[in-house]
Amino acid sequence: MTADSRTADRPPAALRAEALEALLTERGLVKTEVLDGFINRYVNDVGPLNGAKVVAKAWVDPDYRARLLADGTGAIKEFGFGGPQGEHIVVVENTDEVHNVVVCTLCSCYPWPVLGLPPNWYKDPAYRARVVREPRALLAEMGLVVDDAVEIKVWDSSAENRYFVLPRRPAGSENLSEEELTALVSRDAMVGVADVKVAS
């Protein structure tokens, strides 16, 4: 296999990241095991499952839900979730009247402690521009049709505030345990580009 065939289908950003990692490790500025540990933490320990636990708790515990909406950062810290990219998290709640969706129009600010690393589409300039201009059309293209009677609010995350969506609890989930509810919640629902559904 040639170098060209190995890189032909790789995104340019991935190739640049690998080249930068190779250069930094070659010069002794970073250690491979440190980078691997950082990546492993955000893939396995910090990620959407953390956020799903927060959502499920809010669905079953009205007092926790109230704390979460009043002080997202503080309520999330009750789970022990915090750290870089989670210093100030604002939680917005989807209702029958309002659907919230999150973007970062300048870069890719994102609440890492509860959602892990941002997906590629979140960082894509097309998403960042279109979700502000035509959120209903973009959400429909992503598979989420929002009724015309429902207001769509777009929240622009920044270094100061990172937004996190508390999705609506799905119909038919009334008898599910907190653990079962956690398993239903996806990363996309906590960004606002999907709803939570009970498997049929």
Topology at the third CATH level for domain 47-191: Nitrile Hydratase; Chain A (3.90.330)
Annotated active-site residue 108? The verdict is yes
Check 108, 158, 173, 200 and give the catalytic one. Answer: 108
Residue-wise pLDDT tens digits, 15-56: 777 787 778 788 888 777 776 666 666 555 568 999 999 999
- Pull the structure tokens for residue 173: 């989930």
Report whether 128 contacts 103 (CB < 8 A).
yes
Q: The tokens 């032909």 sit on which residue?
A: 8
Annotated active-site residue 5? The verdict is no
Annotated active-site residue 104? The verdict is yes
Per-residue pLDDT at 28: 82
Annotated active-site residue 107? The verdict is yes
Q: Where are the domains of the chain?
A: 3-44, 47-191
Report whether 97 contacts 150 (CB < 8 A).
yes
Residue 4 has pLDDT above 80, yes or no: no
Check 5, 104, 158, 173 and give the catalytic one. Answer: 104
- Pull the structure tokens for residue 54: 């927060």
Report whether 166 contacts 55 (CB < 8 A).
yes
Report whether 61 contacts 116 (CB < 8 A).
no
Q: Is the pTM of the predicted complex or chain greater than 0.85? A: no
Per-residue pLDDT at 3: 45
Three-state DSSP class for residue 188: helix
Phi, psi values for residue 91, rounded to 5°: -100, 130
| Distance of alpha carbon 75 from alpha carbon 125, whole angstroms | 32
Check 109, 177, 186, 200 and give the catalytic one. Answer: 109
Check 107, 177, 186, 200 and give the catalytic one. Answer: 107
Q: What are 90's strand-pairing partners?
A: 163
